[in-house]
Structure 1
Amino acid sequence: MAKVQFDSVRKVYDNGQVAVAGASFDIADGELMVLVGPSGCGKSTLLRMVAGLEEISAGKLWIGERVVNDVAPKDRDIAMVFQNYALYPHMTVAENLGFGLKLRGHDKAEVQRRVQDAAEALGLTEMLGKLPRAMSGGQRQRVALGRALVREPEVFLLDEPLSNLDAKLRHSVRTEIAQLHRKLGTTMIYVTHDQVEAMTLGQRIVVLNEGVIQQIDTPMALYDKPVNLFVAGFLGSPAMNMLRGQLRRGADGMAVLQLDEPGQGGAADVVLGAVSLAADWFGKPLVVGVRPEHLQPGGGASAFNARIEGLEPVGNEIFVNLRYGQQALIMRVAPRQLPAVGQEISVEVTPAALHFFDAGSGGRIEG
């Protein structure tokens, strides 16, 4: 096991494209760190630089106590799992697991021990004699994980390993990876574009966009206190509602958001209630973020009427798509009787759960 350190690590391609713009952060020994972001954000490039598959343009990368910028991939003591299983179709599970060890010159007894240990850890003991074509996608992905596991590396690198699986298998294999990490305590770096995977797997998460690190924190800290509009909109399913406008004081002293695009029918204001925000932000352009679960049916003083445009019951909850003037909103509620599509519903926000962002910079505004 080893600590991984990025010290101002950059990747610039020959055409001038900046794939990673000065990444600096540490991954603790034994930590499961997730790199997440949209396609092209630089997350896989960071992982490939750790693996030695991409040359580092500037900065230093440490694995354990040594700088590995110029160390060959085979000498970095890492193991990598890709989204493509890349199993040898003519080899049994046991042969696939042990093949890399044989190439490295390990004796037969050591190979057998490591293969058996990996098979037990991943529930593959009964499948050691099977060929890949006789296995499900989830089982084959476990073999790919096992092939990395037998290496007993200092660092595991996982590059979107679940993207080829269906939803049910993704959940089960994700659970297995989390259990495996708890059992082994090995340093793992996991790349995904799926924010649900990131939130459920990562002890900490690095959120990237266009090669720049946006925020690094625990999953719930990112959800509860996103540092900017990008993080706020990227993490959360459904995404956070964003209301653009200016705050003013109502006659009763409550904060009222005057929307930038009120639309027709007088839908110009949203009463937010008693908010914790410095007085000098009133009258300035800002963005108010509200999670779907903090938008609820209600008839209080801060309620407003919105039209229901769609209902998405998913069993334990209902996503309610709303329209208020030109503003599209989504509300998450527990199963209940709701008005039909096309009708209006009275809605109110939870003032204590609101997020405020500078409309210009996109940065978070603290109360």
Structure 2
Amino acid sequence: MAKVQLENVRKVYENGQVAVQGATFEVADGELMVLVGPSGCGKSTLLRMIAGLEDITSGTLRIGDKVVNDVAPKDRDIAMVFQSYALYPHMTVRENLAFGLKLRGHPQAVIDERVRNAAQLLGLSDMLDKLPKAMSGGQRQRVALGRAMVRESAVFLLDEPLSNLDAKLRHSVRTEIAQLHRKLGTTMVYVTHDQVEAMTLGQRIVVLNAGVIQQIDTPMALYERPANLFVAGFLGSPAMNVLRGTLQGDGLRMADGRQIPLSAPQALQGRDVLVGIRPEHLQPAAAGDTVAFEGKVEGIEPVGNEIFVNLTLGEQLLVMRVPPQALPPVGEGLKVALHGAHLHFFDPQTELRL
């Protein structure tokens, strides 16, 4: 195992496009770090630079205590799992798992032991003589994970390994990856665009947008205290509601003149702000709720254990997440209470947290 350190790592292509802008962070020895962001944000480019598949324009990359900027991928002591599985279709599971070890000249006894251990850990022992075409997508991804495991590398790099699986398989393989990390204690860097994967797998998360790191923290710290509006909106489903207006007295005055009662820090009084509210922190008002406003129900989406209520407040669209309950029909008004302790305030120009 080994830590991974990036110091102001940049990637600029020949056409001048900046793919990664000054990435600086450390993946601790044995940590599972997730890189997350929308398509084109630079997360896969960053992973490929760690792997040695992309040249680093500037900055320093260390694996362990060794600078590896100019070290070939095969000499970096890393193992990579791709979204496409990249299995050899004409080889059995056993042969796929053993192939890389044979290329490196390991003794047959070592190869057999590592293959046996990986197959047992991943539930592949009964499939060692199967070809990939005879397996499900989830089973193939487990073979891809096993091929990385048998190398016993210092660092595992996983590039959107679940993106080709359906929702049910994604959940089961995600659980297997988390269990695998706990058992092996290997340093892992995991790339995904799926915020659910990021939140459930990552011990810490690096949030990227347009090649720039937005925030690095634990999943719940990111959710509960986002550094800016992008992080606030990207993590969480449904996304955070955002109201724009001026803080005056005991509420937020919106552009259409509506006054939303809410409590805000005294230092923000008189300021134009963006107010973020998670859907679960909007609830139907009870009889004693004084911090409430009147919205109009535009849609009700029951999803089993909860309901998403789509509301309008003038021209403003809001989403509320509530437990299953009786609600006014579409088109009628609903008094909504704000949970003031969970409000987020952002600067409307910089979009940074206030």
Tell me if TM exceeds 0.5.
yes
TM-score (norm 1): 0.95
| Equivalent residue letter for 2:272 | P
- Distance in 2 between residues matched to 1:87 and 1:363, nearest whole Å: 44
| Equivalent residue letter for 1:134 | A
- Distance in 2 between residues matched to 1:182 and 1:88, nearest whole Å: 28
Match of residue 266 from structure 2: 278
Listed one character per residue, the Cα deviations across residues 260-316 of structure 1 (whole Å, up to 9, x for unaligned) are 3x3xxx7x12111x33x133x222211000000000000422221111111111111
Match of residue 132 from structure 1: 132
SS at match of 1:312: strand
| Equivalent residue letter for 1:117 | N
1:86 positional shift: 1.5
More displaced 10-residue stretch of structure 1: 296-305 or 15-24 = 296-305
Match of residue 252 from structure 1: none
Listed one character per residue, the Cα deviations across residues 130-170 of structure 1 (whole Å, up to 9, x for unaligned) are 11111111001100111111110000000000000000000
Work out which of the residue numbers 300, 307, 321 in structure 2 matches 1:311: 300
Q: How does 1:343-362 map to 2 (within 5 A)?
A: 343-362=332-351
Q: How many residues were matched structurally? A: 352
Matched, 1:269 2:256: no
1:185 positional shift: 0.2
Unaligned 5+ runs, structure 2: none
- Distance in 2 between residues matched to 1:13 and 1:51, nearest whole Å: 18
| Equivalent residue letter for 2:260 | V
Identical-pair percentage: 72
More displaced 10-residue stretch of structure 1: 196-205 or 96-105 = 96-105
Match of residue 52 from structure 1: 52
1:247 positional shift: 0.6
Matched, 1:257 2:255: no
Matched, 1:62 2:33: no
Match of residue 293 from structure 1: 280
- Distance in 1 between residues matched to 2:27 and 2:40, nearest whole Å: 22
SS at match of 2:105: coil
Match of residue 212 from structure 2: 212
Match of residue 173 from structure 2: 173
- Distance in 2 between residues matched to 1:330 and 1:350, nearest whole Å: 14
| Equivalent residue letter for 2:320 | M
- Distance in 2 between residues matched to 1:308 and 1:9, nearest whole Å: 48
| Equivalent residue letter for 1:271 | P
SS at match of 1:309: strand
Listed one character per residue, the Cα deviations across residues 165-212 of structure 1 (whole Å, up to 9, x for unaligned) are 000000000000000000000000000000000000000000001111
Listed one character per residue, the Cα deviations across residues 189-245 of structure 1 (whole Å, up to 9, x for unaligned) are 000000000000000000001111000000000000000001000000110000000
Q: How does 1:1-367 map to 2 (within 5 A)?
A: 1-249=1-249, 255-260=250-255, 262=256, 268-272=258-262, 274-275=263-264, 277-279=265-267, 281-299=268-286, 300-365=289-354
SS at match of 1:247: strand
TM-score (norm 2): 0.98
Structure 1 runs (4+) greater than 2 angstroms displaced: none
Give me the CA root mean square deviation: 0.9
| Equivalent residue letter for 2:266 | A
| Equivalent residue letter for 2:90 | H
1:125 positional shift: 0.7
| Equivalent residue letter for 2:170 | R
- Distance in 2 between residues matched to 1:167 and 1:208, nearest whole Å: 24
